[in-house]
Amino acid sequence: MSEDLTQLELLRELEPVVATNIDRHLATAKEWCPHDYVPWDEGRNFAAMGGEDWHPEQSRLSEVAKVAMITNLLTEDNLPSYHRVIAENFSQDGAWGTWVGRWTAEENRHAIAMRDYLVCTRAVDPVALENDRMVHMTRGVHAPPGFGALAQVAYVTFQELATRVSHRSTGRVCDDPIADRLLQRIAADENLHMMFYRNIAGAAFDIAPDQMIEAVTPIVKNFAMPGTGMPNWRRNGVLMVKHGIYDLRQHLDEVVMPILRIWNVFNRTDFTARGERSLEELGAYLEKLGRDVIRFEEQRERILAREAARVG
């Protein structure tokens, strides 16, 4: 039985793939500026500058849209933590370092644009938003012990696509063409980032199939969005799930299964018995998740029907 590749060996083996995909990304990505997506003519001073402080009636967003926008923004805000984690698990040298820097710079636009939109349009309470940002960024995010490069690339593949879905859904519920256009732009970035990581993970399957499936299986089974732990996470998450911003059906059908199909995990012939055991574990989990999705949708329908009856 061949020995596992070390973290350093994995990074070296994958570096040419990283370099190729950086070139592909740079040729595909469109440059954009956050200020072009903000309706500055709606802005005005707050009390500290002689104007008027925020009042709830100034917001034209629904409660669901406000919660989704705040959650997505606070998730983007934690970029310094994400940068630290991926730099620790990848490298700050060579092609890996080039990508870490480029990805960080592109991601930073997202929080800039979303915050400017929310504050300029007075869509949410800016004081509460800043307080939540302070709490969330102070807590940061931390990879579990032994996470490693393969787990990192697997996680960010699923996470980038999940974030894309969440941004697009949020844009639709805002009922504001400016917000929708902004979030479409951000979602396009997330999709390109997902493709980069997905391609690196696909190459990792060819280089170290057993190690890769053993990294992917626990990521899928224990997946959590990086905003976990932010203030009001549970309450806001329930509201977003209830209204289809990001729910179990989307997670399974639009995120997990499309990526696994592209990696061809269930049709590979290069796993040893060790890899096959991990694959069986993944398959069993996905069957359970499919049943959970059905139960969740049935329960949500009952809840929404009861609420509609009360309103009626």
Cα–chain center distance at 175: 22
**Neighbouring C-beta atoms of residue 17, cutoff 10 Å:** 18
Of 194, 198, 196, 165, nearest to 264 (Cα)? 198
| Phi, psi (degrees; rounded to nearest 5) at 218 | -65, -30
Give the pLDDT confidence score for residue 311 in this predicted structure: 75
SS3 228: coil
Of 167, 163, 154, 161, nearest to 215 (Cα)? 154
Give the pLDDT confidence score for residue 2 in this predicted structure: 67
Tokens matching residue 20: 């190729």
Give the pLDDT confidence score for residue 143 in this predicted structure: 81
Of 40, 66, 38, nearest to 126 (Cα)? 66
Tokens matching residue 19: 């370099």
Block means of pLDDT (10 residues each) for the chain, length 312 residues?
86 97 97 98 96 96 96 95 93 94 97 98 97 94 85 97 97 96 98 98 98 97 89 91 93 97 97 97 97 92 83 71
Tokens matching residue 67: 């919660």
Residues 232, 249 contacting (CB under 8 angstroms): no
Q: How far apart are CA 47 and CA 216, in angstroms?
A: 51
Give the pLDDT confidence score for residue 1 in this predicted structure: 47
Q: How far apart are CA 240 and CA 16, in angstroms?
A: 40
Residues 75, 163 contacting (CB under 8 angstroms): yes
Query: How far, CA to CA in Å, does 120 sit from each of 37, 59, 229, 277, 291?
Result: 11, 11, 27, 53, 44
